[in-house]
Amino acid sequence: MSKVKKGGTVKNLHDSPGQRLGVKRFSGEAVKAGNVLVRQRGMTKRPGEGARVGRDYTIYAVRDGEVEFHQTRVRRFSGHRVRRTVVSVR
């Protein structure tokens, strides 16, 4: 006879690896053109001066400089104002 009874079966055991999203260069850091500043899904942060957006919404530097994050207010179509984070390279 078995000392331990049998365990049940599992249907949802698998886990996927993380996508490594988030801020890659923080405010005040020196960057070169082409460096990735933020990896994101959707436009959670917006590009400012000296930064552009890639196909997958990655924000990257287009010139050498220092990273700067600041908040701005954006008006929606309904007229409602919301705060958005802008990533710039100065």
Q: CATH number of the domain at 34, please.
A: 2.40.50.100
Residue range 4-21, pLDDT digits in tens? 877 788 888 888 999 999
Tell which residue, 51, 55, 53, has the closest CA to residue 64.
51
Tell which residue, 38, 3, 32, 4, has the closest CA to residue 19.
38
3-state SS class at 71: strand
- For the question of whether the overall pTM of this predicted structure is more than 0.85, the answer is no
52 part of a folded domain: yes
14 part of a folded domain: no
Domain that holds residue 57: 22-89
Residue range 53-62, pLDDT digits in tens? 999 999 999 9
Query: Are the beta carbons of 25 and 59 closer than 8 angstroms?
Result: no
- Cβ-Cβ contacts under 8 Å for 9 (sequence gap 6 or more): none
16 part of a folded domain: no
Residue 58 identity: T
Domain tally, the chain: 1
17 part of a folded domain: no
62 part of a folded domain: yes
Residue range 23-63, pLDDT digits in tens? 999 999 999 999 999 999 999 999 999 999 999 999 999 99
70 part of a folded domain: yes
